[in-house]
Amino acid sequence: MEAGAFVLSACGYMTSGDLPANFPLRDHVNLGYAHGGSQIVAPLGIPLVPPTSGDTIIYADCQADMIKVWKAIIDTVGHYARPDIVRLQYMKSEEVALADRAADALHRMSGKELARAAERHDLRKEELAVAMENVAKPG
């Protein structure tokens, strides 16, 4: 809201018909969240077009005066700025890459641990091992 901008939220829409018949995880894909829900919100936080489900195109009249009104109400560069609660931090050293962590975990895991992890995710032990090897491959 502090940006004083119109927000165009374009959400995904997908049905089971969008997945290929031979897709191996077809029965496990959760499509309940992919119902659309796109919306357009004015700088004041007022929905110009409320969340809309389905495969559709939404339109709104975005009047530039709304930005001016919002910037007159909220002074984001003045006394409302909060350096005590908002700050930028950066890492001084490089994080260990996901591939390196996956390779390390795969080599440290016993057969029992791998089987338990696979069972928790409804996979066969071999499937999990192959997936971890693929993540661990360089490049």
29 inside domain: yes
Are 58 and 103 found together in one domain?
no
SS3 of residue 87 by DSSP: coil
For residue 43, give the nearest of 22, 70, 18 by alpha carbon.
70
80 inside domain: no
Q: Number of folded domains in the chain? A: 2
SS3 of residue 74 by DSSP: coil
Percent of the chain having pLDDT more than 70?
A: 85
pLDDT of 50 reads 94
Residue-wise pLDDT for 88-137, tens only, equals 777 777 777 767 777 787 778 888 888 888 888 888 888 888 877 776 66
84 inside domain: no
pLDDT of 123 reads 83
pLDDT of 40 reads 95
Q: Would you say 31 and 15 are in contact if contact means Cβ atoms under 8 Å apart? A: yes
The pTM of this model reads 0.48
Residue-wise pLDDT for 13-36, tens only, equals 888 888 888 988 888 888 877 888
92 inside domain: no
In which residue are the tokens 């050293």 written?
Answer: 93
Residue-wise pLDDT for 34-85, tens only, equals 888 999 999 888 899 999 998 899 999 988 888 887 777 666 666 556 677 6
DSSP code per residue over 89-119: ---SSPPPPHHHHHHHHHHH--HHHHHHHHH
**Domain coverage including residue 22:** 7-73
Distance CA 114, CA 128 (A): 8
Are 11 and 69 found together in one domain?
yes
Distance CA 58, CA 42 (A): 14
